[in-house]
Amino acid sequence: MPSTPRYVTALISALSFRGAQPELLQALDDSEWHQLLVFGDQMRLTIPLAQVCGDYCPSWVRSRIDQNIADNARRFQMIKTTYAEIVEVFRAADVEHVVLKGFTKSPDYAPESALSDSVRH
């Protein structure tokens, strides 16, 4: 049975509620960080990692995640703008509607919409 990759162990250990070991992140090389980011993106853990363990991330990783957060903020603003336009059209047509997927996790899932992976690409 293959062993768990070191970057997965480091990510999970860093985000553990009890006995977190964010220092394991510091042992990763750039190749492992690239793999961690791919895995973290797929599991929707990259932004939470930066929130909890940003000080343990290399500067290039932190910059990349900061760009993800900025991109999420722009996408979320575009969704809000589009939603407001849709609401106005529905109101003018006297049509009832439901909230579109994407808003269902905010604000309870993530305190800031830009930090929620629910609006990722």
Q: Write down the pTM of the prediction.
A: 0.67
Do 65 and 57 contact (CB within 8 A), yes or no?
Answer: yes
pLDDT tens per residue across all 121 residues of the chain: 578 999 999 999 998 888 889 999 999 999 999 999 999 999 999 999 999 999 999 999 999 999 999 999 999 999 899 989 988 988 898 887 665 666 555 566 566 666 665 444 4
Q: What's the pLDDT at 99?
A: 59
| pLDDT at position 47 | 92
Distance set, CA 25 to CA 3, 28, 50, 58 (Å):
18, 6, 12, 9
pLDDT score recorded for residue 102: 60
pLDDT of residue 119: 43
Residue 55 has what pLDDT? 93
Domain boundaries, the chain: 6-119
